[in-house]
């Protein structure tokens, strides 16, 4: 071999891992993009979906919350098996499965003709998200060197935020389409006006879902060119393949030492005690429980619900129409920008410092938003007795012309938009309706038993036969009288108030992106010892998604019954707990190999 060819060979060996790592980070980032779309796409679709589905499918506020939470519930379901799947078919195979499921979910949602298919499509999308949330951070932790591991998690989070931005931009565009259609039909008769608005809004939310198809196809195709995790290969005794995989992601001089460290941590066939180690054995219990606590606290800040319901929250705060969608885009753009900041800081300042900084800032921002909503909600007039008197045992119909709006609000000012919120129940079935006087389709409040009381369905019937009865009884609700539980009317908050709440959410998202947004994925993958990492990460992410799903599922009923301030106060309290956990319980893992972190816990 001549000198020139030798130099070229050395350069190829040095350059190859660099390009392989960049491609790996790109595809892992695409996984984050899909995860972000999973969370964020419903925010822009929800206002249109609420306007159309509540009319054509008789969806209640609880069912709408279930549609939002279905992605998170799907993540819970897949998190139960993600670790086992990643162990059985490999990290790359599990990522490919996630991409295929995401791609299949899009037509199911976009072509939905009722509540059940829409819910099933969202569940399928969530199952793919749960797999991505476990397997991609797991793959990054096992493939990247200690110096690049933080950057890999940050890249996953960065593309996750880009997915949120993409979803928000799609929602903003469709909001402008709806606003333009609303302006063009104002001169038409009432029935024709409502019909055209219904068609435009129905088309808008379906288009929002269709627009997510391409990223799923790109991720699925890209995963096929990745190598398998070297640690997964070494754990199965495929040492030669593990060596080849390492040569594509670490420097040549580090391959053999890294491989030896993996083999030391891999249980031998003759060591039965090590093979039987459980998640809660003494050597693994503390890192496992600490990772679970960090992930639970991350979702208890309310981040997923804030992102999913951002447009709804900002509408309630006082921002009109597409302005709220524009603020939603700004929130998600800031999330992406601050994730870049986290990308630069995570391997310099460390995980512990960023988690303390982030959780502290989150608590202050949420407390400020709660106080703003409390101020707005205090001035509302209680009209529950008035509506209860007008209601029959089965229904309530109330014309909402200008005179009735002024009478209900006790105001003669016809220029000030008013908002009416009614919480009602038929037996165990509860619902919330919220109408604004400046909306074209808010000329009548109609509450009917057949639109509020839903049948058991397959799931409800199963539980009822098992005598568990976790759901309301339709038979009892069919005889129960209409009960107005809460009804209030008051001025719609000013746009200035809406922007003040938007600033609080911007601050919240900025601190989340710098701290928990990136560090939570590192905590998930770094704290878990090698022998329990896949199953431990599954259980920790399961707890994470259970908390997130619960918050999203109860959001609309809770804010309808108790106001938005109550929800923000709860999230602020959870964020204070998060700060204390980060400050006093979390060890620093910056710059340490996975094997060194595991040894530290011993």
The pLDDT value recorded for residue 508 is 95
The H or E element containing residue 270 is none
- Regarding predicted confidence, which is higher, 575 or 69? 575
pLDDT tens digit sequence for 111-147: 888 888 888 898 898 888 888 877 887 787 777 766 6
CB 356 within 8 A of CB 582: yes
Which residues sit opposite 433 in a β-bridge? 422
b/e for 253-289, b at 16 or more Cβ within 10 A? eebeebbebbeebbeeeeeeeeeebebeeeebeebbb
Write out pLDDT tens, residues 237-247. Answer: 777 777 777 76
Whether pLDDT at 333 is above 90:
no
Sign of the CA dihedral 282, 283, 289, 292?
negative
Report the pLDDT value the prediction gives residue 1, as an integer from 0 to 100.
43
- Domain map (residue ranges) of the chain: 13-226+279-374+498-601
Q: Answer yes or no: is pLDDT of 72 > 50.
A: yes
Half-sphere exposure of 197 (CA within 13 A, CB side): 25
CA atoms of 190 and 398, how far apart (whole Å): 17
pLDDT in tens, 164-203: 788 888 888 888 888 788 777 766 666 777 788 888 888 8
pLDDT at 274: 46
pLDDT tier, 309 (very low <50, low <70, confident <90, very high otherwise): confident
Predicted confidence (pLDDT) at residue 153 exceeds the cutoff of 60: yes
Longest dimension (CA), the chain: 98
* Pairwise pLDDT comparison (429 vs 466), residue with the higher score: 429
Average the pLDDT over 374-403 and give the result: 85
pLDDT of amino acid 56: 74
Structural domain 13-226+279-374+498-601, CATH architecture: Up-down Bundle (1.20)
Contact 538, 79 (CB under 8 A): yes
Q: Which residue has the higher pLDDT, 389 or 284?
A: 389
| 490-538 residue pLDDT tens | 888 888 999 999 999 999 999 998 888 877 767 666 666 666 666 676 6
| Surface-to-core class of residue 10, CB atoms within 10 Å of its CB (0-12 exposed, 13-18 middle, 19+ buried) | exposed
> For the chain, how big is the Rg over CA atoms in Å?
26
595: confidence class by pLDDT, cuts 50, 70, 90: low
Average pLDDT of the residues in 586-592: 64
**pLDDT at residue 373 in the model:** 92
Q: Which residues have CB under 8 Å from 368's CB, separation 6+?
A: 504, 507
Residue 395, class by beta-carbon neighbours within 10 Å (0-12 exposed, 13-18 middle, 19+ buried)? Answer: middle
- Quote the pLDDT of residue 509: 92
Residue 275 has pLDDT above 50, yes or no: no
Q: What is the pLDDT of residue 14?
A: 40
**Burial (CB count within 10 angstroms: exposed 0-12, middle 13-18, buried 19+), residue 120:** middle
Do 556 and 64 touch, CB atoms closer than 8 A?
yes
Distance, in Å, from the CA atom of 534 to the CA atom of 310, rounded to the nearest integer, reads: 33
102, 171, 180 from 336: Cα distances, Å: 22, 17, 29
- Mean pLDDT over all residues of the chain? 77
Q: What angle do CA 328, 71, 467 make, to 5 degrees?
A: 135
| Token pair in block for residue 566 | 């109550």
Q: Residue 301: pLDDT band by 50, 70, 90 thresholds?
A: very high
Residue 398 contacts residue 444 (beta carbons within 8 Å): yes
**Percent of the chain's residues with pLDDT above 70:** 77
Mean pLDDT to the nearest integer, 29-45: 80
Q: Which residues of 434-467 are buried (b: 16+ CB within 10 A; e: fewer)?
A: bbbbeeebbeebebebebbbbebeeebeeebeee
Q: What pLDDT is recorded for position 414?
A: 59
**Is the pLDDT assigned to residue 468 strictly greater than 70?**
no
Dump pLDDT digits (tens) for 434-445: 787 777 666 778
pLDDT of residue 501: 94
Helix (H, G, I), strand (E, B) or coil at 301: coil
pLDDT bin (cut points 50, 70, 90) of residue 273 is very low
Question: Residue 598: pLDDT above 70?
Answer: no
Q: What's residue 534's pLDDT?
A: 63
166-180, 351-365, 449-463: which is most confident: 351-365
Would you place residue 271 in the very low, low, confident or very high pLDDT band (cuts 50, 70, 90)? very low
């Amino acid at each position: 071999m001549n000198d020139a060819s030798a130099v070229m060979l050395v350069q190829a060996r040095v350059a190859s891992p660099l390009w392989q790592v960049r491609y790996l980070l790109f595809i892992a980032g695409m996984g984050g993009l899909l995860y972000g779309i999973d969370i964020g796409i419903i925010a822009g679709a929800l206002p249109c979906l609420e306007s159309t589905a509540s009319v054509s499918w008789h969806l209640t506020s609880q069912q709408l919350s279930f549609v939002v939470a279905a992605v998170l519930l799907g993540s819970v379901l897949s998190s139960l098996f993600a670790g086992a799947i990643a162990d059985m078919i490999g990290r790359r195979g599990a990522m490919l499965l996630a991409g295929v499921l995401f791609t299949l979910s899009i037509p199911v949602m976009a072509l939905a003709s009722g509540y059940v298919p829409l819910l099933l499509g969202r569940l399928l999308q969530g199952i793919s998200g749960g797999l991505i949330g476990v397997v991609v951070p797991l793959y990054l932790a096992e493939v990247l060197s200690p110096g690049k591991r933080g950057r890999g998690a940050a890249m996953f989070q960065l593309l996750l935020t880009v997915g949120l931005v993409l979803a928000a931009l799609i929602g903003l565009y469709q909001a402008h389409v709806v606003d333009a259609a609303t302006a063009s039909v104002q001169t038409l008769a009432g029935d024709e006006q409502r019909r055209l608005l219904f068609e435009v809004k129905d088309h808008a939310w379906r288009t929002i879902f269709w627009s997510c198809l391409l990223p799923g196809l790109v991720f699925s195709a890209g995963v096929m060119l990745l190598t398998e995790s070297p640690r997964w290969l070494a754990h199965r005794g495929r040492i030669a393949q593990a060596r080849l995989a390492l040569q594509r992601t670490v420097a040549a001089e580090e391959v053999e030492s890294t491989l030896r460290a993996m083999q030391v941590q891999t249980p031998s066939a003759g060591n039965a005690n090590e093979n039987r180690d459980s998640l809660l054995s003494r050597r693994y219990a503390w890192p496992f429980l600490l990772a679970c606590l960090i992930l639970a606290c991350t979702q208890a800040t309310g981040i997923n619900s804030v992102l999913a319901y951002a447009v709804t929250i900002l509408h309630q705060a006082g921002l009109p129409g597409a302005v709220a969608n524009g603020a939603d885009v700004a929130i998600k753009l800031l999330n992406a920008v601050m994730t870049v900041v986290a990308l630069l800081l995570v391997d310099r300042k460390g995980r512990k410092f960023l988690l303390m900084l982030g959780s502290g800032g989150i608590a202050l921002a949420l407390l400020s938003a709660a106080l703003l909503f409390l101020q707005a909600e205090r001035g509302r007039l209680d009209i529950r007795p008035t509506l209860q008197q007008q209601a029959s045992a089965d229904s309530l119909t109330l014309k909402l012309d200008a005179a009735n709006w002024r009478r209900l609000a006790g105001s003669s000012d016809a220029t000030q938009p008013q908002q009416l919120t009614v919480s009602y129940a038929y037996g165990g079935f509860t619902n919330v309706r919220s109408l604004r006087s400046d909306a074209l389709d808010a000329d009548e409040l109609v509450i009917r038993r057949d639109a509020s009381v839903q049948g058991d369905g397959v799931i409800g019937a199963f539980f009822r036969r098992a005598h568990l009865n976790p759901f309301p009884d339709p038979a009892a609700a069919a005889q129960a009288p209409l009960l107005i539980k809460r009804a209030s009317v008051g001025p719609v908050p000013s746009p200035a108030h809406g922007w003040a709440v938007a600033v609080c959410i911007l601050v919240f998202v900025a601190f989340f992106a710098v701290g928990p947004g990136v560090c939570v994925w590192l905590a998930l993958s770094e704290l878990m010892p090698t022998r329990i990492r896949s199953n431990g990460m599954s259980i920790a992410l399961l707890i994470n998604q259970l908390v997130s799903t619960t918050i999203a599922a109860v959001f609309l009923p809770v804010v309808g019954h108790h106001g938005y301030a109550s929800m923000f106060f709860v999230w602020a309290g959870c964020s204070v707990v998060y700060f204390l956990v980060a400050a006093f319980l979390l060890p620093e893992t910056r710059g340490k190999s996975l094997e060194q972190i595991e040894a530290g816990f011993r």
